[in-house]
Structure 1
Amino acid sequence: MISPKLTATPTLALTAGEPAGIGPDLCVQIAQKDLRCRLIVIADRELLQERARLLQLPLQITDYSPMVEIEHKTASLHVLHVPLAESAVPGKLNPANARYVLNTLERAVEGCSNGEFDAMVTAPVHKGAINDAGIAFTGHTEYLSWLTNSHAVMMLVGGSMRVTLATTHLPLKDVAAAVTCETLEQKLRIIQHDLITRFAIPKPRIAVAGLNPHAGESGHLGREEIDIIIPSLEKLRGEGINLIGPLPADTLFNPSHLKNYDCIFAMYHDQGLPVLKHASFGAGVNVTLGLPIIRTSVDHGTALDLASTDRADPGSLLAAIEMAITLAGIRGKFSKLEHACP
């Protein structure tokens, strides 16, 4: 799963996430690194400056202007200022700042949609704080899908795996009802399309997990495989999609099997992601497929207890930035090929 290298320098928007969590810390930490992109952080400038002070890291902030050429320099950030509603205290959630978090996401989507940014990268948000503000919110993936009027698929990349999900942030009791032929077919078509166009895999091999233990054991442990999953896979195979399964999830992730797949399609969040995060936590990347824009993110949460302590690890955010750079480069190559076609 080696990705091609990019020679052009893309412009990325980075949202700083929950202001009481480690998102601002990570932004300050990556400012100290050499980056292969032009980076604009969408956040409250005073929040970043205060977090740099608490971390005892140097930080020079330049206000972002789309009319001024951007060049990344170590210990500095270009910041598109979005003001907090109230000052943020590290480790202490404040629902008053929920709207601020969503405003940063909306500005990043706007910039990606109009060509101002080549991709967006997101630091973690806190779903509970946003819901406590009276705003229905189930996650980045669902919110970005709504903002762009598209059907999104969550993919995690890490540990030599690409894992996608049929369902995302649902209670386990609701998963079986959400696994429908329509959902499986829609998401697998998106995965097939984006593996080809975004990851430059000409003929993807997609392994599909069963919903039930032992993939239903011929119907003795559940009929979802027989009634829903198998008919959907057979239909999509008729469209030329290379699908393997449904396979028992407890053996699907065996290393000897993984080498035969380009992507795994799991039925629910905690079926697919624990294995990937065990293999790559702190270096994994969340990629949202199906959007008209490129979005990558970290593989972890807000870690409120680590905010301002200098113990947050920026590895996953750096990996997300590198992935965004790579995906922007691949998209650029495909755009050139499309324009070259008569």
Structure 2
Amino acid sequence: MKLPIAITLGDPAGVGPEIIAKAFRDAPDVTEGCFVVGDVGVVRRALQVVYGGGLPLPVAVLDDMGDIVLVPPNCVPVWPAATLTILPPYGRLSAEAGRLAAECVVWATRAALRGDIRAMVTAPLNKAALSLAGLPHDGFPGHTEMLQALSAEHAGRCVAQMPVRMMLANDELRVILVSIHLSLKAAIDAVNFESVLQTIRITQKALTPVLGRPPRIAVAGLNPHAGELGLFGREEIDTIGPAIAAASAEGIVVSGPFAPDSVFMRARNSANHIGEFDVVVAMYHDQGLIPVKYLGMEQGVNVTLGLPLVRTSPDHGTAFDIAGTGLADATSLIAAIRMAKQLS
């Protein structure tokens, strides 16, 4: 039998617990072989929200990894890796909620690094709550940086020796980012020969086994019209272009830099358009995430590439404004679980 997949709870004041409850209710074939990492009380509260006045799925509290195979169908297995004394109100920032979310991620990451689980799927955490949680969690802007640090520590390396990249994917488009959670000014400064070449290499390595062939990689420019031969900036000439040439010399199927305002539509794969490329390398967070989210946020999956483990997550945040209402859509989480199974 394959090892199980851990789904971390996310911020208990957000929609993470609700979409997990909906996933187990609505997609039992997808959640088969999965278990939740987090507080049992939070999971039970989420099930009550999702089921309203009806009888919710029962919760099976795990105290041994081997018990997962004994959990009957139509049941939500929970590993209580982190607990709360008081359930936090929905939609409110709190240090305790941030701590719980972080501790769930730490437990699942270490379990994956030990080889106890085959993959991890992370429900949304809130970056402000993570900051309120204090040391050591407040040192990380989000999931990606936390996973990178834990993986580097496990491997006995410094963080710089564990380069990671974010891929966001839906049914129509895949995008991989050179930089992630940086200010726009810092993200522009991060566009250098090494970072662009490294991103192309990580893209090649990650997608080749998924596609069963080398991916066709397009690289977006940084400036309008990809610099227009230097009229609007020289990054494409001095930095991005040479990185593409170096990657091509290594045998990677890569081209560009292309104008950022058109390359994503060229790569889009839909019923009426066969994409020219399998993936687009974007220079910074919003450049890549705006088009892919616009095309299908409900189906979007976030995948962290470069780690010695498989991690996926839904393509949305904690949605404090609707938390506790039962309105949250679990489609993206279900897609993330499917992707984790495909990758592991």
Q: TM-score when scaled to structure 2?
A: 0.88
Moved more, 131-140 or 273-282: 131-140
Displacement after TM superposition at 1:85 (Å): 5.7
In 1, distance between residues paired with 2:111 and 2:100? 17
Is 1:137 aligned to residue 140 of structure 2? yes
Contact 2:3 2:116 in 1 (8 A): no
Aligned to 1:181: 193
Q: How does 1:95-244 map to 2 (within 5 A)?
A: 95-134=95-134, 135-149=138-152, 150-197=162-209, 199-244=210-255
Bigger mean CA deviation after superposition, 61-70 or 244-253:
61-70
1:27 positional shift: 1.4
Alpha carbons of structure 1 residues 245 and 144: separation in structure 2 relative to 1, 3 Å: same
Letter in 2 for 1:39: C
Deviation per CA, 1:70-104: give whole Å up to 9, x if none.
Answer: 26655421101021264211111112332221110
In 2 relative to 1, CA 255–241 (structure 1 residues): closer, same or farther, beyond 3 Å? Answer: closer
Question: Which secondary structure does the structure 2 equivalent of 1:41 belong to?
Answer: strand
Give a deviation string over 1:124-172, Cα, whole Å, max 9, x none. 0100111133412212112111111121110011132111000111111
Where 2:321 maps in the other structure, the secondary structure is helix
CA contact under 8 A between 1:214 and 1:248: conserved in structure 2? yes
SS at match of 1:121: strand
> Residue 229 of structure 2 aligns to which amino acid in structure 1?
S
In structure 2, what residue type is equivalent to 1:186?
Q
Q: Does 1:40 align with 2:35?
A: yes
The equivalences for 1:1-342 within 5 A come to: 10-32=3-25, 33-36=27-30, 37-55=32-50, 56=52, 58-64=56-62, 65-70=64-69, 75-81=74-80, 82-84=82-84, 86-134=86-134, 135-149=138-152, 150-197=162-209, 199-255=210-266, 259-328=275-344
Computed over aligned residues only, the root mean square deviation of the Cα atoms, in angstroms, reads 1.7
CA distance in 2, matches of 1:195, 1:80: 32
Distance 1:262 1:166, change over 3 A: same
2:158 corresponds to? none
Letter in 2 for 1:192: Q
Which runs of 5 or more structure 2 residues have no equivalent in the other structure?
Answer: 153-161, 270-274
Indicate if the aligned counterparts of 1:85 and 1:97 stay in contact, CA closer than 8 A: no
Q: Point out where structure 1 has 5 or more consecutive residues left out of the alignment.
A: 1-7, 329-342
TM-score of the superposed pair, with normalisation by structure 1 = 0.89
Q: Percent identity at matched positions?
A: 39
The farther-off stretch of 18-27 and 48-57 is: 48-57
Deviation at 1:210, TM superposition (A): 0.2
CA positional deviation for 1:201: 3.3
C-alpha deviations, 1:239-282, integer Å up to 9, x for none? 11111100001111225776111111000111111111111111
Q: Describe the SS at the equivalent of 2:49.
A: helix
